[in-house]
Chains A and B, each alone.
Chain A
Amino acid sequence: MNTETIHTTEPQLAPDGRGLPSTLEVRNVSHWYGNLVAVNDVSFKLQPGITGLLGPNGAGKSTLLHMMAGFLKPSSGQVEIIDQSTWRNPQLYRNIGLVIERESVYGSLSGYDFVLFNARLHGLPHPHEATRHAIKLVDLETAAHRATGGYSKGMKQRIKIAAAIVHDPHVLLLDEPFNGADPGVRVFLMDMLRAWAAEGRTIVFSSHILEEMDQLGENVIVIVAGRLAASGDFRAIRRLMTQRPHTFSIRSSDNLELARALIAADIVSGLDLENGVLVVRTKDFDRFTLELPRVARRADIDLTELDPLDESLESVFSYLVEA
């Protein structure tokens, strides 16, 4: 596999973050567990704004995020936030908020007491005021005095975010923050993070879901098999993704005739006929899906089955690496 990295543009800045120095820098970072290389020589710089850390499950996103949060020591390289190493540097947490993927919270505490506990550990001068503000931001005021053990997954996610932002950090790191959240909560959290980023904060969230990046990620870092596969503006990367060659398997009333018609219509870049299935490749997804039924109708062929063969995220990410 070719491991050349795609850089579409320089990382984007939030509107009022332009010109600011990078707040987070990952420099030649690798991490391995025994013989397994989880993150391999990754480098990037981030300024204020939202950055999505995208990649399939097991790509090394969480490992990278944990190194950014100072909860994992890089095997080599350096991770710095506001020019300070994140490893063994507790004082840096004055500037960092962290939301881990696991649901765990102190179940016996109410949401309010949980956030207040976090505010007090930060040594905030007005912990109750900060707690009320954070809970208001995540819209959990009505459930604030209920035990978190009885919260739904979405509520737990929101109270975890409230605890992570109670000290108003410059950098917010979120590991799969939308996992398990219902669509309403997802939209709410996305709006909240957008508003936070617009105030000049650096927000990094990991996800393996392209649609989440589409809705939130201005800037994206794609990690595949521990390597930096692409970074930059998400829309440019998304274009690359949609313009990649697509493969479909087709069953029809006359595969041979359909193959001739598709070649004549010039909407496929290659095809194979094997075991009663027509496998076609196209570089223009939109045109192919629009023209296929028309070509079939003109040739008087019935289409009985159409399956995309390479729609998994892994294949999309692999394409990015190979591009």
Chain B
Amino acid sequence: MNLYILRLTLRQTVGQRRTWVILLFASVPVIFALIFRLAADADENRLEFFMEGMDGLVIGLILPLTALVFGTAVLGQELEDGTAVYLLSKPISRWRVVLEKATAAWIATSVVLGISIGAMALILLAGDAEYRLILAGSAALSFGALAYVSLFVCLSIMFSRALIIGIVYVFVWEALITALINNARYFSIREFTVGVGDALVDDSTATFNASLNGTESVILLLAVAAATIVYASHRLGSFQLGDRT
């Protein structure tokens, strides 16, 4: 597999203004970390602050929104402006198109989040040898990003207003409904992500307070990614010009 679609998509992503806006957005926890570190009596609570920043800000907000922006743009924008025809009028399977597009969105999301938590960890945890914690957080984010981008790529094929639907999912379903209805956590990528994070941290002093265990979380994340990629490929196979263009 030559991954031409993946390469072109990454090249386009780097050159887009939205990427730089997302990078600015992802620098918010870094700025908070910097302010916290500069505060005179902050030294003792650095680990706690890092965990809270990861849970509330990075996993709860920056991860889903970054994945939403990249996930809905990588293919959705081409379906809107008509350039998707150049991909779809080729003798290549639709699952390959979806897979390469989702991978590009996943890489872009992971890089942005990697920069964000890398800088945050450097500022807050430098010299504390909390490598396991940083790796656990990164792995959880990476798993979470995979499920999120797969879902959002799928939504972008199904709906021209995928961005709005994605925002509703993140802010209404994950932030509100999941908090109110206990069983809704089985349909929340955020819950799966913190579940993976907690399983990998393996430390009673640092926890994301996950409601699902690690195995459940990994299985559910992979299931979401697989199911949405398969369904997205099926829907893309039936893409009709004029529906969106």
Q: A-side interface residues toward B, CB under 8 Å?
A: 33, 62-63, 66, 69, 71-73, 88, 90-94, 96, 98, 100, 102, 104-106, 108-109, 117-118, 120-123, 163
B56 within 8 A of A: no
B90→A121 contact, CB < 8 A: yes
The answer to whether residues A106 and B245 also contact, given A120-B4, A123-B91 and a CB cut-off of 8 A, is: no
Number of interface residues of B (CB under 8 A): 27
- The residues of B that contact A33 with a CB separation of less than 8 Å are 242
B94 and A106 contacting across the interface, CB-CB below 8 Å? no
Main secondary structure of the interface of B (DSSP, over half): loop
Q: Are A100 and B241 also in contact (CB < 8 A) when A108-B11, A117-B8 are?
A: yes
Chain A CB within 8 A of B81 CB: yes
Query: B82 and A102: CB pair below 8 A?
Result: yes
Given A108-B11, A121-B4, A122-B91, A88 and B237 touching (CB < 8 A)? yes
Q: Is the CB of B85 within 8 A of A98?
A: yes
Chain A min CB distance to B99 (Å): 14
For B1-17 the 0/1 string (1 means CB < 8 A from A) is 01011001001100100
CB-contact partner of B86 in A69, A91, A92, A163, under 8 A: A163
Q: 18 A-B contacts, Cβ less than 8 Å apart?
A: A62-B242, A63-B242, A71-B89, A71-B239, A73-B240, A90-B88, A90-B93, A92-B91, A93-B89, A93-B91, A94-B91, A100-B241, A102-B245, A104-B83, A108-B12, A117-B4, A121-B5, A163-B86
Q: Is the CB of B82 within 8 A of A120?
A: no
Q: How far apart are A254's CB and chain B's nearest CB, in angstroms? A: 55
Residues of B within 8 A of A (CB): 2, 4-5, 8, 11-12, 15, 81-83, 85-94, 237-242, 245
Q: Is the CB of A106 within 8 A of B240?
A: no
| Contact call B241/A71, Cβ cutoff below 8 A | yes
The answer for the CA separation of A96 and B245 in the assembled complex, in Å, is 21
- Which residues of chain A come closer than 8 Å to B91, judged between CB atoms? 90-94, 122-123
Q: A100-B82, A121-B4 are in contact. Are A66 and B242 (CB under 8 A)?
A: yes
CB pair A117–B86 under 8 Å, yes or no, is yes
Measured in the bound complex, the distance between the Cα atoms of B245 and A63 in whole Å is 12
A4 to chain B, nearest CB (A): 29
In the complex, the chain B residue whose C-beta lies closest to that of A94 is: B91
Are B81 and A104 interface neighbours, CB within 8 A?
yes
**Contact at A106–B12, with CB atoms within 8 Å?**
yes
Closest chain A residue to B239, Cβ basis: A71
Task: Answer whether A98 and B89 are a contact pair too, CB < 8 Å, given A66-B241, A71-B240, A72-B242.
Answer: yes
The answer for the CA separation of A17 and B67 in the assembled complex, in Å, is 53
- Complex CA gap A121/B241 in Å reads 20
